[in-house]
Amino acid sequence: MAYLDNVRTFTRIYELGSMSAAARDLHISPAVASARISQLEQHLDVRLFQRTTRSLSPTEQGRIFYEGARRIIEAVEDAEAGVSAVTGAPAGTLFVATPLGLGRRFVAPAMVDFRASFPRISVRLRLSDRKVDLAAEGLDIAFFLGRPRDSNLRIRNIAECPRVLVASPSYIASRGHPLKGDEIADGRHDCLNLRFPGASEYRWSLQAEDGEHAYSVRGPLECDDGDVLTDWALAGLGIAMKPLFEVADHLEEGRLIEVCEQTPPVPVQLACLYIHRRHQDPKSRLFMNFMIDRILAQMRDPDVPS
């Protein structure tokens, strides 16, 4: 197993671009991760990474080896999945990504019951509102809100999620209550935008009587964390576009008020993405079934325990 451990460590370092990040994912020390790469390089008689005190990047030999190494790891995972399917006791590690709001409200709290039901499955959960690349980052499952375009991935739809534009009573008192998208476009209101490196959405898609319209909006604040946008909206700093499930309590309690009601945002799809394989990993299937049931139950009734 030592060689396979070395190969697995190499693939995680390659995918995450960091020795320390891979070590954290694998629950080993950076020193152990470094030693495994050194052993692998000695075995292959090549340098797999160019390493400095500040950066790490794969060599040409490293890029070539990764393609084969990834297939090795997937073959082992397929074999383990086949055994698990027969024994009925799935085990192993899942790498899962989810948007911050969804992860904090639904997925992370449900891990208590998931671990109680499936103690042999470990989960490495990443919460981020940025778009992720499953193959490049070595992820098994990614929850998302939006419209995926990658045809190489399998999609499991969960629910259509309505979105709302919201602002605080104090903001509305000082800046007015816009009813339509035209009233907030082109800087006429302070709009709080979700932005991150590589983001392609810089306009808000709203529904009007004659169809969908994309409005250019601007504001003095932007962030890559959707919950921060909610906090800013609560503080009266502007208008935020939010999935309804993230702000339903604030709307019910009057801390936020829906605006642009005549042109609401286009709903987004809540779904899971996963990479298609010949044998679907039983632990991935179990995890998705468990989380989807929990998410749908809580969306139907927020009082259902997480």
pLDDT at 203: 81
Instruction: Please state the pTM of the whole predicted model.
Output: 0.69
C-alpha count within 13 angstroms, C-beta hemisphere, residue 293: 8
**Amino acid 28: pLDDT:** 86
pLDDT in tens, 36-75: 999 999 999 999 998 877 778 899 999 999 888 888 887 7
Can you list the residues of the chain whose pLDDT is less than 70?
1, 78, 80-88, 148-152, 196-202, 276-280, 302-306
Per-residue exposure over 160-191, b if at least 16 CB sit within 10 Å of its own CB, e if not: ebebbbbbbeebbeebeebebbbbbbeeebbb
286: Cβ contacts below 8 Å, ≥ 6 apart: 90, 118, 121
Residue 175: predicted pLDDT: 95
Cross-strand bridge partners of residue 268: 161
Cβ–Cβ < 8 Å for 219, 232: no
Direct distance between the N- and C-terminal alpha carbons of the chain, in angstroms, rounded to an integer: 38
Q: In which element (H, E) is residue 237 found? A: none
Rounded-to-10 torsion of CA 81, 82, 87, 90: 10
In the chain, residues under CATH classification 3.40.190.290 are 163-266
The confidence score (pLDDT) of residue 278 equals 46
The pLDDT score that the predictor gives to residue 241 is: 95
Comma-separated ranges of CATH 1.10.10.10 domains in the chain: 1-86
Q: Give the model's pLDDT for residue 303.
A: 60
- The span from the CA of 85 to the CA of 198, in Å, is 39
* pLDDT value of residue 276: 63
Q: How far apart are CA 160 and CA 238, in angstroms?
A: 26
**Separation in Å, CA 279 to CA 65, 85, 142, 261:** 24, 10, 18, 46
CATH fold, domain 1-86, is: Arc Repressor Mutant, subunit A (1.10.10)
The ranges of the chain annotated as CATH 3.40.190.10 are 89-161+267-306
Which CATH entry fits the domain spanning 89-161+267-306: 3.90.1150.10, 3.30.200.20, 3.40.190.10, 3.40.50.300?
3.40.190.10
CATH number of 163-266: 3.40.190.290
Residues 284 and 288: their CA atoms lie apart, in Å, by 6
pLDDT digits (tens, 9 = 90+) for 162-212: 999 999 999 999 999 999 999 998 788 999 998 765 555 568 899 988 889
d(CA 266, CA 257): 18
